[in-house]
Amino acid sequence: MRQPTYNYINRLIDRITKYGQSNNDSFTYYGHLVELQSSTSGYVSVTLYKTDDRYGGELADFSFDYWTLELHFVGTVGKVLTEKIISAFRYFYALRKIRVSYDEYEYEDEDRTYEYDETDWDKPPVKRLNK
C-alpha cells in the first residue's frame, strides 16, 4: 500500500501562521477539516481531521507557541506526517530555532514506539519495539 505524502502540509502551515489568520476558526483544506483554537494571539492549537468532518478521525493534533517557538504534538497518525509538519514549521521560521515537544507515545507505527528526551530537544528519538 502506498504511503501518503501530505503535500498540502506546507501550504496549510503557511495559512495557519499567516498574519491575519484567526486563531479561532475552522475550515476545510484539501478535503480535511482544520480546527484552530486559541485564547491569545501568541498561541494556536490545531486539529487536522482525515475528512471534512470530525467523524472521520484525527490526522494530527498539535499546538504552536509563537513567542517561545515551541511546536508541541499531542498525536499524529504516523512519523511521516509528524516530520512533514516539523519540516514546514522549520521552513517558515528558518532564521529561528523551533523547539519540538511530544506527549508520551505521541504516535505509534505498526511495531515501534518513539520516545523523546524532553531535557534535550535536539536528541533523536529512541525507538522501542512494541511486543
Please report the DSSP string for 36-99 in residue order.
EE-SSTTEEEEEEESSSSGGG-EEEEEEEETTTTEEEEEEES-HHHHHHHHHHHHHHTTTSPPE
Tell me the per-residue pLDDT of 36-65, one tens digit each, with 9 for 90 and over: 998 788 889 999 999 888 888 889 999 999
The DSSP code for 108 is B
pLDDT of residue 104: 61
Interval 110-122 mean pLDDT: 60
Q: In angstroms, what is the C-alpha Rg of the chain?
A: 15
The model's pTM is 0.76
* Per-residue pLDDT, 61: 94
Q: What is the pLDDT of residue 63?
A: 93
- What pLDDT score does 106 carry? 47
Interatomic CA distance for residues 100 and 103, integer angstroms: 11
Higher local confidence (pLDDT), 15 or 114: 15
Stretch 77-87: mean pLDDT: 90
